[in-house]
Amino acid sequence: MILGDLLDAPVHDGAGRPLGFVVDVRLVLDGPVTGLLAAPRVHALLVSPRTGTSFLGYERTDVRSPALLARFLRWRHRGTFLVDWSDVAVATGDAVTLVDGYRRWSPAYPGRDRRRP
Amino acid sequence: MSPRLRRSARPFPDDEALPEAPRPAGLVLDARLHLLDRQTLDVDGRPVATVDDLELGAPGSTSLSGDDTVLVAALLSGPVLATRVFGGRPPSSRLHRIDWRHVTDVGTTVRLGVHGEELDVLWVERWVRDHVIGRIPGGRHDPG
């Protein structure tokens, strides 16, 4: 599977209720080390009610400028949440289904370095 | 218009304050935000390609499960402009792989630890250089 198959895929809970769309995939570099960097492991999915403009990332970083644009895009993607990969029952190119009892987290990029390029 | 969930169909309030997830041990990257469309540079700092997609899990797999550990195996580069505009995806044979083990740094650009000449992704440029540009008089040496 390629990342493009997952991006913008609709997300449902176990009962088939629509929750939003996959707007990004959070990776953690803690996999096996085969080169200079550890292999990225899929850690979580970012789910938003909308798909467009999320690639700018305003809803998950501390970037505040340009102020009008930042406020608009943060408002536009309100309701975005993070769900752990372990809470995914099955992910295909058509849809992502979450397990019953999945947990929603804040989409904020972790740590102080929220301005990472 | 891009797909969206109608407000009446949203199961949760938009202004709900959610707890921050526990911070994982390794460096965190959001794939679309920090990797897609980034320029890759080879070990000499020469541009190689842009990151158009990522290969997740085993090549050819069509579904993934949360019970499995899914790793990024490779960066993919290929003709994705038309599929991004009109939808769909290019055939797998048109996407060139750059193994993740070649990646040495991720920042504003993605740096590789190999020479671009060694990568399949540049075969078109090498072919054009050898078969077209090289046959033009003066095309095999520095114009200076």
Does any domain span residue B4? no
Does any domain span residue B37? yes
Which two tokens mark B2?
């891009």
Does any domain span residue B23? no
Does ipTM top 0.85? no
Pairing status of strand B39-41 against strand B103-106: unpaired
Q: Which domain holds residue B60?
A: 29-135
CA distance A100 to A88: 9
- Give residue B93's identity as a one-letter amino acid code: S
Does any domain span residue B20? no
Count: domains in chain B: 1
State mean pLDDT over B32-52.
92
Q: What is the model's pLDDT at position A39?
A: 93
Q: What is the model's pLDDT at position B116?
A: 84
CA distance A33 to B123: 28
Distance from CA of A80 to the nearest CA of B (A): 8
Task: Cis check for the bond before B137: say yes or no (omega within 30 of 0).
Answer: no
Residue pair B112/B97 in contact (Cβ under 8 Å)? The answer is no
Which two tokens mark A48?
């938003």
Least confident piece of the model among A52-66, A74-88, B55-69, B70-84? A52-66
CA distances from A104 to A82, A98, A100, B67 (A): 6, 11, 12, 18
Tally the residues of chain A. Answer: 117
What CATH number is given to the structural domain containing B126? 2.30.30.240
Does any domain span residue B2? no
Which of B1, B2, B4, B5 is the best substitution to test chain A (most A C-beta atoms within 10 A)? B5
SS3 B33: helix
Other C-beta atoms lying within 10 Å of the C-beta of residue B7? 9
Q: What is the model's pLDDT at position A53?
A: 66
Does any domain span residue B97? yes
Does any domain span residue B10? no
Interacting residues of A35 by C-beta distance below 8 A, sequence separation 6+: B99, B100, B101, B102, B103, B104, B113
Does any domain span residue B40? yes
Candidates A34, A84, A105; nearest CB to B19: A105
Torsion of CA A4, B106, A29, B56, to 10 degrees: 20
- Answer whether residue A74 shows pLDDT above 80: no
Distance from CA of B112 to the nearest CA of A (A): 10
Which two tokens mark A1?
């599977």
